[in-house]
Structure 1
Amino acid sequence: MRPIIIALDFEDKEQVFAFLDQFDHQENLFVKVGMELFYFEGPKILAELRKRGIHVFLDLKLYDIPNTVEQAMYQLGQQEVSMVTVHAAGGAEMIRRAKQGLLRGSEKAGVKPAKLLAITQLTSTSEEQMQDEQLVTVSLAESVKHYAQLAQESGADGVISSALEDPRIHQATSQDFLCINPGIRLASDSVDDQKRVVTPSEAARLGSNGLVVGRSITKASDPVAAYQTIAKEWGLSND
């Protein structure tokens, strides 16, 4: 599966399901539940999405001491979601413990383990910001590659990055290591607060394994048509 993941950046489930009702006939729909929605609705929103047969990417970007992240992932591993995230900056031990917790949780619940994805550098971050504010002295591309290698060595299944970094990541990691890419915009869209953006067709050319798309779909006058346009550019049958 090379999913187009719709970012459900809504306040509550009423808005979510009013939006998703437009996609009733779309097979293998994949959505992202982020902090805004999860912190208000909690795990129940995940169960409601699963009842509709919708795949869920739970994007909470965990970043804490290893023991805390492991225990949190143990809880999330029981939620039957397809993907979860941690920050690669949390380090090797944190990522390893996250994977352990995730596997323990999925085993307890008897569900397939979620893919563990590590955040590299946010697509809203520029190289200048990274160097000035994080005091990272290497290039942004080198920082992302390093985090990807660290993540794989620590048991993660892939990373979240800009598609601009995908070729370098794929070259530095194994063939099955995933690059899931936010910062996707149609050529006619505003980039909003994103810095490192690409179109769906550019992401496909760069080797993306999956797209995370928010406002280009959710704020479109016709979200279904926007989704279909992105799928066509992406070259996806969505199977």
Structure 2
Amino acid sequence: MQAENQIIVPLDVPTIEAAIALVERLPQVTFWKVGLELFTSTGSVILRELKSRQKRIFLDLKFHDIPNTVAGACRAAASLGVDLLTIHASNGRTCLELATTAIQEGAASTGVQPPKLIAITLLTSISPRQLAFDLKIPLELPEYALEMALMAKESGLNGAVCSPQEAAQLRETCGNDFLLVCPGVRPTWADKGDQQRTFTPSQAIQAGANYLVIGRPITAAADPELAWSKICAEIQNLEL
């Protein structure tokens, strides 16, 4: 896979105007992430705008609710023709299994390809201490992420979102056909922000990540085009 196709850039902006301006500022970006803020603001309008520009879409809404509600949301989202869709693995096995069926139904209803359904193992903003003391989960963080990913795979999901620090273990255990999407990726020259568990782009790819979600190091850079090019070059050098 070419480096530019492995980087997903988040459209973490509040309006359709700001989103389109960012897409036009970075025409070389082929894969964009639409999250809660922008989708709540614009609905499917932003998805249509991206598709009209032949962009791939990661719809990152992290569905988390009772099984029937999550299945209904997945069915509706799949009909929109997005490429990746996220739900929390902590919804449980029944919910995950219903969701895998629902995306097939939703995509078939509009004649589009079903999205790859990706499980959230654990938000990368959560530290081991928070997992233990705030969430009261007795497992070590890597073990918890692995258990969530395995349940997702057994339930028919296509992959998982995980910290790059867990990617190597998940790749070894879940196999090469299981997609790993890694946020929390920060070049050495970028600020970590609110991410607690980070790797550089090259470290994340070497650990087994298929896709890297990289936002502020690109979108908040003084020169976003230069930042994009530097990250692509770092990844490309691994393949030479």
TM-score per shorter chain, which class?
Answer: over 0.9
Q: Which residue number in structure 1 is paired with residue 123 of structure 2?
A: 122
SS of structure 2 residue aligned to 1:235: helix
* 1:183-222 deviation digits (Å, cap 9, x = unpaired): 1111011111110011101111111111001101110111
How far apart are the structure 1 equivalents of 2:61 and 2:237?
Answer: 27
Alignment of 1:188-227 (within 5 A): 188-227=189-228
- Secondary structure of residue in 2 paired with 1:175: coil
Q: Which residue of 2 aligns with 1:108?
A: 109
Q: Tell me the percent identity.
A: 38
Q: CA deviation at 1:43?
A: 0.8
Query: Within 2, Cα distance between the matches of 1:133 and 1:226?
Result: 36
Q: Deviations over 1:122-142 (max 9, x none)?
A: 111111100111111111000
Show the counterpart of 2:178: 177
Supply the distance in 1 between the matched residues of 2:229 and 2:24 (Cα, whole angstroms).
16
CA distance in 2, matches of 1:160, 1:41: 24
Shifted more, 53-62 versus 224-233: the winner is 224-233
Match of 2:150 in 1: 149
The Cα of 1:172 is off from its aligned counterpart by 1.4
Correspondence for 2:96: 95
Q: Match of 1:15, as an amino acid?
A: A
From 21, 24, 38, give the equivalent of 2:24.
21
Q: Which has the higher contact order (CA 8 A, sep 6+)?
A: 1
Question: In the aligned structure 2, how far is the partner of 1:112 from the partner of 1:197?
Answer: 32
> How many residue pairs get matched?
235
Deviation at 1:60, TM superposition (A): 0.2
Code of the aligned partner of 1:23:
L
Give the whole-Å Cα distance in 2 for the aligned partners of 1:85 and 1:184: 18
> Which residue matches 1:233?
234
Paired with 1:113 and 1:44, the residues of 2 have a C-alpha distance of 19
1:147-193 Cα offsets, whole Å, 9 max, x none, are: 01000000110000111101110121132001100011110111111
Match of 2:80 in 1: 79
User: In structure 2, what is the Cα distance between the partners aligned to 1:207 and 1:170?
Assistant: 6
The aligned runs of 1:130-145 (5 Å cut-off) are: 130-145=131-146
Q: C-alpha distance in 2, partners of 1:19/1:170? A: 33
Cα displacement (A) at 1:232:
1.2
Give the superposition deviation at 1:101.
1.0
Q: TM-score, normalised by structure 2?
A: 0.95
Consecutive unaligned residues in structure 1, runs of 5 or more: none
Q: Which is worse superposed, 228-237 or 104-113?
A: 228-237
Report the CA distance between 1:236 and its aligned residue.
Answer: 7.8
Q: CA deviation at 1:96?
A: 0.9
SS at match of 2:204: helix
Runs of 4+ in 1 over 3 A off after TM superposition: none
> Which residue of the partner structure matches residue 187 of structure 1?
188
Distance 1:73 1:124 in 2: 24
- Partner of 2:69 in structure 1? 68
Q: CA deviation at 1:11?
A: 0.7
